[in-house]
Structure 1
Amino acid sequence: MKISRIAAIASVLFGLVQAAAAQETPKAITIATEGAYAPWNFTTADGKLDGFEVDLANDLCGRMKIECKIVAQDWDGMIPALTVGKFDVIMASMFITEKRLKIIDFTQPYAVDPSGFAVAKDSELGKVGISNERFKLENEASAQAAIDKLKPLLKGKIIGVQAATANLEFVKKYFSDVAEIREYKTTEQHDLDLAAGRIDALFAQQTALAATLGKPEFSDYTLAGPGFVGGLFGLGSGAGIRKEDIKLKDMLDGAIDAAIADGTIKTLSLKWLKSDVTPVK
């Protein structure tokens, strides 16, 4: 009986210590990125992490005046590794979705980038070409109308998409009745299959697809159709953190606010993504 009481008291004290720690200003943090989603984040030939989110992470850490270490983490283990304390923050073009918010918390979005298709130029969808239209999935009627126009153009095709992503959820929900959906652990893998002709289309963020199509081996491919945001894609890309790290969230939100206000996010996104993905306040 006494042992159980001691255990209960110890548990309460541990919880109080954890809660207090969550309110303290961290002196150093570890940020994880995938290192395989160019130009958002990637690994250079000499093994260094680089890209839009690596530059942004370093900028945010400078604003917060804390020491940061940036590490690579496989996409499919990203959230579990965060929750067990392997690192403190995720910056890996991770969409802020209701499903993920049940497990972890996020900062405000630091980028909003539509997702869309890349296909061969001589395909039915490729001949339609890229559209500047952006459809919010919350506006169900207009978004569904746009999707219905795409379906016959993708009928019988194989669509490549990264596993465990909102992009996968989207193509499964709206195109699995007309096309085969093929999942890949990384975007680099589905890029290789597109170049080899083993799949007919890719679905991913348009800036990432544009970077892929800029390579010589993809000269016969193009972005095609409109872009999609909201709904399954959530609020945009944000930094993932543990729910209890309240002080860290406040610090990151403040740093992101400052980076939006002074144009840093615009500058970095134009540098790396060739497009301004700054969230609209």
Structure 2
Amino acid sequence: MNKVSLILSWLSLRSTSVSLPQRFLQPHFSHPAGQQGLSKRVLGASLIALGLPMSLQADALPDLKGREVVVVTENAYPPLQFVDPKTGEAIGWEYDAMNELAKRLNFTLVIENSSWDAMIPAISEAQFDIGMTGITIREDRKEKVDFSAPYMRSEMFMLVRADEDRFANAEEFAALEDGLVGAQAGTTPFYTAVYEVLDGDEQNPRIKLFETFGASVQALRSNDVDLVLTDGTAGNGYVNANPESFKLVGDAMGSEDFGFIFPKGSDLLAPINAGIASLKEDGTLDQLNTTWFLDYELGR
């Protein structure tokens, strides 16, 4: 997937959602201040100077009057949210978007970090206000949490080692009896591996489970698995940063929409949806896409 095809993908989807990203080679990290585990960072709306245009209808957006909003993320899904390997700072598309929402809706943004497997249960129990980590909007998840309007559309691709020559598509991988795929349980890559690549058996021994997406990519690098499924844009980020280690093969496998998640009945859902609409309306999401999916080079 080259830059031209990405831009064309955006143009085809601008009337609905933004097109584009699954996780990072950073299963554990420390913040610059030395905090570890479930750590908190207050990110004021002035943290980043995006230089982005404000919506012409910004005055009509809900005013949350400085209310504290706690957002939980995994910091494991570049370029949506991750820890910059050079600076140790948590950055990404979702950080910039959420900070812009905080500015437009007048709320104080507080970031917490958690693992993916704990995130949906924590949101469903209202331990946090919002979850953001490239979460696919799915009907089964809607039983536990509320989703925002979609802010991004993603397609799945096959990430393999750069020297892989045994297979070049899903059918050839399925026929490779000793081929292993790495995935996180309960994620879109996991279900895509089960139902679109393999035989529909969620207990298939050819699927090796990992706690983080980054751990599965590390396993791919070290020859412990042969395939990892990832969003095409994130996959291109890995390939561009590590062309000697990885490549993408095969065709796109379906598409999915990403949304922020909320406790059921959250009064933040409507304001955030209004904010997302304003970001789409004035081209801010397009600018973020250019910044993070075209201009930014992971690890450089």
Higher relative helix content = 1
1:108 is paired with a residue of what secondary structure? coil
Q: Which amino acid aligns with 1:72?
A: N
Listed one character per residue, the Cα deviations across residues 203-251 of structure 1 (whole Å, up to 9, x for unaligned) are 12112222222233x5142111111234xx4xx0001011211x31111
Q: Distance in 2 between matches of 1:229 and 1:257?
A: 25
Q: Distance in 2 between matches of 1:213 and 1:179?
A: 27
Q: Distance in 2 between matches of 1:212 and 1:94?
A: 20
Q: Is the 8 A contact 2:119 2:131 kept in 1?
A: yes
1:168 shift after superposition: 0.6
List runs of 5+ in structure 2 lacking aligned partners.
Answer: 1-62, 296-300
Following superposition, which runs of at least 4 residues in structure 1 exceed 6 angstroms of deviation? none
1:108 shift after superposition: 0.6
Identity of aligned residues (%): 24
Q: Distance in 2 between matches of 1:229 and 1:33?
A: 25
Q: Is the 8 A contact 1:40 1:273 kept in 2?
A: no
Q: Distance in 1 between matches of 2:293 and 2:184?
A: 19
Q: Distance in 1 between matches of 2:282 and 2:165?
A: 42
Q: Distance in 2 between matches of 1:240 and 1:213?
A: 29
Give the structure 2 partner of residue 4 of structure 1.
Answer: none
**Does residue 229 in structure 1 map to residue 254 in structure 2?**
yes
1:253 shift after superposition: 0.7
Give the structure 2 partner of residue 174 of structure 1.
Answer: 196
Q: Which amino acid aligns with 2:167?
A: L
Q: Distance in 2 between matches of 1:33 and 1:169?
A: 22
Show the 5 A alignment for 1:65-104. Answer: 65-104=106-145
Q: What TM-score do the two structures reach when normalised by structure 2?
A: 0.69
**Does residue 160 in structure 1 map to residue 202 in structure 2?**
no
1:37 shift after superposition: 1.4
1:148 shift after superposition: 4.8
1:185 is paired with a residue of what secondary structure? coil
1:239 to 254, 257, 260: 260
Show the 5 A alignment for 1:248-267. Answer: 248-267=268-287
1:228 is paired with a residue of what secondary structure? strand
Q: Which amino acid aligns with 1:192?
A: Q
Give the structure 1 partner of residue 244 of structure 2.
Answer: 219
Stretch moving more, 221-230 or 117-126: 117-126
Q: Is the 8 A contact 1:160 1:181 kept in 2?
A: yes
The number of aligned residues is 227
Give the structure 2 partner of residue 9 of structure 1.
Answer: none
Alpha-carbon distance change, 75 to 179 in structure 1, aligned in 2, over 3 angstroms: same
